[in-house]
């Protein structure tokens, strides 16, 4: 406990989340955190954020004599989150820059430019990072959750209406994105091997080969159709037709293939482990699937607890990003076989490539925000001190209809 007055401040890499009766201090350099409900401590930290205080507050001897406040200050110092400066040695109040979200108001800027469409040029196109194109919607497989997998992870889906994107539409699409920031183009169906013009679009796919990923079900694979330079993404769901899978695995270019296991329960997880042991894929992902009937599996394996939330250290930039945009959805567009465009497979249509340019669709999403800027700003997340440390809402929140898949707020 001190015997003199001190200037107290937080280090500039500390992020503070204020909620009713509780605050979180988060060290963005090492992931350390400190939570308190102590009124005096909340008062002290709040003082730092008063504009006139410029990030520094006075910690008087009287305040230090309060054991709880002193314990809190000691904790802040131990966790390398703050400093005490001797007032005698530093009679003039110092200044400490504290991080406050003050980014350029992109959306307002876009709105202002609405009448002046000349200004929505190249910059808007840079928001587009990933494109998912459903070539067709026919498939002879009969997976039980054909219409649901694609709402939770990248997976084929078929209505068997025979709608298809034409070669011209695809050429037009790729022409529009050639000077964009798109770093990944996912090609899916139905069954892409049954896309009428699959050989005709091969040169087009080849000219973007570094960013093309072809997704298909293991039982739909056909040899010598796709060019050898493309990344292959093989969907494996259950129940597994082992012989068909084995056959595909023998024929496919395994170097270029990533396996995507879709699982609903523990038994399927064990099956995946056995398949991995047996087939030894170099690249694979496991995607839990919410069937509507496997809440227990989800509660145990998907729901976040505090340890999950703090398993990775977030930078101030990432936390501020979580306040502004959704890192799961931002920059993605989905194009369906009838030309419909969506910002996610769970949201309403933004338009159609047959009538709208990609640029105007990006612009629409930036303004309407069907998915790209959905953040944790509804109950109960907006009352939680982990609001913006917590990962952005995902498709799972959409399909379960539950805003918080966590054990923190029941
Ligand atoms: S393989 Fe894909 S498109 Fe075909 S039925 Fe299964 S999920 Fe649907
Ligand atoms: S309530 Fe929301 S913000 Fe808080 S931990 Fe749960 S999901 Fe994350």
The pLDDT, as a whole number, for residue 103 is: 46
The pLDDT, as a whole number, for residue 249 is: 98
Are residues 336 and 216 located together in one domain of the fold?
Answer: yes
95 part of a folded domain = no
The pLDDT, as a whole number, for residue 173 is: 97
97 part of a folded domain = no
Nearest to 133 by CA among 186, 171, 96, 81: 186
103 part of a folded domain = no
Are residues 159 and 249 located together in one domain of the fold?
Answer: yes
Nearest to 77 by CA among 24, 16, 9: 9
192 part of a folded domain = yes
Please tell me the residue having the least CA distance from ligand 2 atom 2. 381
The pLDDT, as a whole number, for residue 97 is: 80
**Two structure tokens written together for 296:** 């227990």
Are residues 162 and 285 located together in one domain of the fold?
Answer: yes
Are residues 191 and 335 located together in one domain of the fold?
Answer: yes
Nearest to 219 by CA among 251, 196, 197, 187: 251
Instruction: Give the span between the Cα atoms of 267 and 276, in whole angstroms.
Output: 14
392: left (phi over 0), alpha (psi -120 to 50) or beta: beta
Partnered with residue 93 across adjacent β-strands are none
Are residues 64 and 128 located together in one domain of the fold?
Answer: no
Last residue of a domain, one of 86, 119, 136: 86
Are residues 130 and 190 located together in one domain of the fold?
Answer: yes
Q: Strand 130-134 to strand 184-188: parallel, antiparallel, or no bridges (unpaired)?
A: parallel
405 part of a folded domain = no
Are residues 396 and 321 located together in one domain of the fold?
Answer: yes
Are residues 275 and 198 located together in one domain of the fold?
Answer: yes
Which of the listed residues 138, 140, 144, 146 should we mutate to test ligand 1's pocket, taking the one with most ligand atoms within 8 A of CB? 146
Ligand nearest to the CA of 323: 2
Are residues 287 and 209 located together in one domain of the fold?
Answer: yes
The pLDDT, as a whole number, for residue 334 is: 98
408 part of a folded domain = no
28 part of a folded domain = yes
The pLDDT, as a whole number, for residue 91 is: 87
Question: Ligand 2 in contact with 387 (CB < 6 A)?
Answer: yes
Last residue of a domain, one of 86, 101, 123: 86
Range of the domain at 67: 6-86
Residue 219 Cα to ligand 1 midpoint, Å, equals 9
Are residues 60 and 133 located together in one domain of the fold?
Answer: no
Are residues 121 and 77 located together in one domain of the fold?
Answer: no
Partnered with residue 233 across adjacent β-strands are 215, 258
Q: How many domains does the chain have?
A: 2
What b-and-e string marks burial along 39-49, b requiring 16 or more CB atoms within 10 Å of the CB? eebbebbebbe
Would you say 358 and 307 are in contact if contact means Cβ atoms under 8 Å apart?
Answer: no
Are residues 283 and 374 located together in one domain of the fold?
Answer: yes
Let me know if 283 is exposed, middle or buried by CB neighbors in 10 A (0-12, 13-18, 19+): middle
Instruction: Give the span between the Cα atoms of 406 and 305, in whole angstroms.
Output: 6
Q: Using CA of residue 33, residue 37, residue 42, residue 44, what is the dihedral sign? A: negative
Nearest to 7 by CA among 46, 52, 55: 55
Instruction: Give the span between the Cα atoms of 120 and 256, in whole angstroms.
Output: 38
- pTM comes to 0.92
The pLDDT, as a whole number, for residue 101 is: 64
Question: What's phi and psi for 232, nearest 5 deg?
Answer: -110, 135
Nearest to 290 by CA among 396, 393, 146: 396
Last residue of a domain, one of 53, 86, 119: 86
Question: Ligand 1 in contact with 190 (CB < 6 A)?
Answer: yes
Number of Cα atoms under 13 Å in the Cβ half of residue 301: 16
Per-residue pLDDT of the chain (410 residues; tens, 9 = 90+): 557 899 999 999 999 999 999 999 999 999 999 999 999 999 999 999 998 999 999 999 999 999 999 999 999 999 999 999 998 888 888 888 877 765 445 556 666 655 454 445 567 889 999 999 999 999 999 999 999 999 999 999 999 999 999 999 999 999 999 988 999 999 999 999 999 999 999 999 999 999 999 999 999 999 999 988 999 999 999 999 999 999 999 999 999 999 999 999 999 999 999 999 999 999 999 999 999 999 999 999 999 999 999 999 999 999 999 999 999 999 999 999 999 999 999 999 999 999 999 999 999 999 999 999 999 999 999 999 999 999 999 999 999 999 999 999 98
- The kind and range of the H/E element at 305 are none
Would you say 329 and 372 are in contact if contact means Cβ atoms under 8 Å apart?
Answer: yes
CATH code of the domain covering residue 287: 3.20.20.70
Instruction: Give the span between the Cα atoms of 230 and 249, in whole angstroms.
Output: 16
Instruction: Give the span between the Cα atoms of 111 and 362, in whole angstroms.
Output: 13
64 part of a folded domain = yes
Which of the listed residues 303, 403, 409 should we mutate to test ligand 2's pocket, taking the one with most ligand atoms within 8 A of CB? 409
Residue 107 Cα to ligand 2 midpoint, Å, equals 26
Question: Ligand 2 in contact with 406 (CB < 6 A)?
Answer: yes
Which of the listed residues 35, 381, 392, 405 should we mutate to test ligand 2's pocket, taking the one with most ligand atoms within 8 A of CB? 381
């Amino acid at each position: 406990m001190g015997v003199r007055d001190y200037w107290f401040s937080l280090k500039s890499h500390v992020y503070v989340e204020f909620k009713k009766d509780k605050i979180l201090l988060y060290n963005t350099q090492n992931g350390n955190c400190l939570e308190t409900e102590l009124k005096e401590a909340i008062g002290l930290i709040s003082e730092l954020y008063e504009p006139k205080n410029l990030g520094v507050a006075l910690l008087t001897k009287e305040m230090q004599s309060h054991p709880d406040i002193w314990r809190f200050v000691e904790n802040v110092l131990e966790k390398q989150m703050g400093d005490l400066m001797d007032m005698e040695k530093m009679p003039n109040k110092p200044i400490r820059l504290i991080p406050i979200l003050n980014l350029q108001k992109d959306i307002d800027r876009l709105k202002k430019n609405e009448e002046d469409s000349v200004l929505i040029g190249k910059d808007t196109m840079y928001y587009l990072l990933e494109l998912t194109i459903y070539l067709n919607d026919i498939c002879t497989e009969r997976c039980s959750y054909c219409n649901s997998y694609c709402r939770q992870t990248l997976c084929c889906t078929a209505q068997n209406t025979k709608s298809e994107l034409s070669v011209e539409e695809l050429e037009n699409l790729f022409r529009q994105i050639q000077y964009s920031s798109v770093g990944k183009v996912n090609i899916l169906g139905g069954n892409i091997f049954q896309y009428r013009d699959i050989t005709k679009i091969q040169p087009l796919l080849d000219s973007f080969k570094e960013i093309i990923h072809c997704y298909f079900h293991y039982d739909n694979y056909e040899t010598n159709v796709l060019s050898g330079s493309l990344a292959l993404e093989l969907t494996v769901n259950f129940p597994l037709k082992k012989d068909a899978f084995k056959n595909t695995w023998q024929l496919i270019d395994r170097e270029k293939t990533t396996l995507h296991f879709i699982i609903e329960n523990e038994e399927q997880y064990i099956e995946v482990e056995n398949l991995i042991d047996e087939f030894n894929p170099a690249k694979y992902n496991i995607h839990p699937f919410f069937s509507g009937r496997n809440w227990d599996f989800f509660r145990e394996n998907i729901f976040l607890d505090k340890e999950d939330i703090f398993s990775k250290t977030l930078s101030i930039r990432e936390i501020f990003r979580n306040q502004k945009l959704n890192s799961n959805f931002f920059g993605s567009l989905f194009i369906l076989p009838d030309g419909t465009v969506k910002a996610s497979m769970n949201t309403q249509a933004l338009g159609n490539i047959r009538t709208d340019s990609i640029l105007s669709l990006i612009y629409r999403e930036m303004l309407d925000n069907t998915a790209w800027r959905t953040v944790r700003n509804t109950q109960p997340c907006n009352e939680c001190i982990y609001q913006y440390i917590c990962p952005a809402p995902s498709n799972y929140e959409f399909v379960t209809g539950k805003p918080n898949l966590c054990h923190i707020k029941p």
